[in-house]
Amino acid sequence: MEELEKKNQRLQDEMHLLRTRIKEFESTRILQKKEKNKHAQNERYYRSIINHIHEDILVIDKNYKITDVNKTFLLTCGRKREDVIGHYCYEISHGFDKPCEEHGEDCPLLKVFATGQIHTACHQHLHSGGWKTWVDLLLSPLTDDNGNITHVIKAIRDVSELVNAGKSLEEINKKYRRVLASSKN
């Protein structure tokens, strides 16, 4: 009888321990679910910010691969997300088969990875429809927790009208100088 009581007590102790562990497991699972929901909510928040920025935004890794874009970029370039993510920036932006610097173009992406500093440039980008636009680029480093540059954020603003207006003004000035020079003769 005493042996039976000891077994019963051990069984009750084990049942209590099992209940405690189940509660701990459920509590951990609930916390993980809350963290996952919080992470998803943060992801939606930051994605919303990126998508509501007026400029086109690309995130590019050290291998020139595009890892993220905003909706504005997709609308501007006339492409779908799956046609851009994982492709090379020089392929999407310029229609090139190799990096810009191999085509004689200035590549501020390389400068950002090399220096860790923000760089700017003015380039012509190719639209999926075949026409080219003048764009102002602002490239900024994106770092990990250790301060290592892992990606570059490329903000793009179409400045075609400004560039074309500048060219028109130059032409007008040339014509004016020719007229002025011919009137002096």
pLDDT tens readout for residues 146-160: 999 999 999 999 887
Quick check: 154 and 171 in contact, CB under 8 A?
Answer: no
Does some domain include residue 179? no
Does some domain include residue 185? no
Q: Torsion-angle region of residue 78: left (phi > 0), alpha (psi -120 to 50) or beta?
A: left
Are residues 77 and 4 part of one domain? no
pLDDT tens digit sequence for 57-110: 999 999 999 999 999 999 888 889 999 999 999 999 888 999 989 998 888 999
CATH number, domain with residue 153: 3.30.450.20
pTM for the predicted model, two decimal places? 0.70
Gyration radius of the chain over CA positions = 30
pLDDT tens digit sequence for 167-183: 777 887 788 788 777 77
Q: What is the pLDDT of residue 17?
A: 87
Name the residue with higher pLDDT: 58 or 28: 58
Q: How far apart are CA 88 and CA 43, in angstroms?
A: 24
Q: What is the pLDDT of residue 26?
A: 87
Count of structural domains, the chain: 2
Are residues 13 and 31 part of one domain? yes
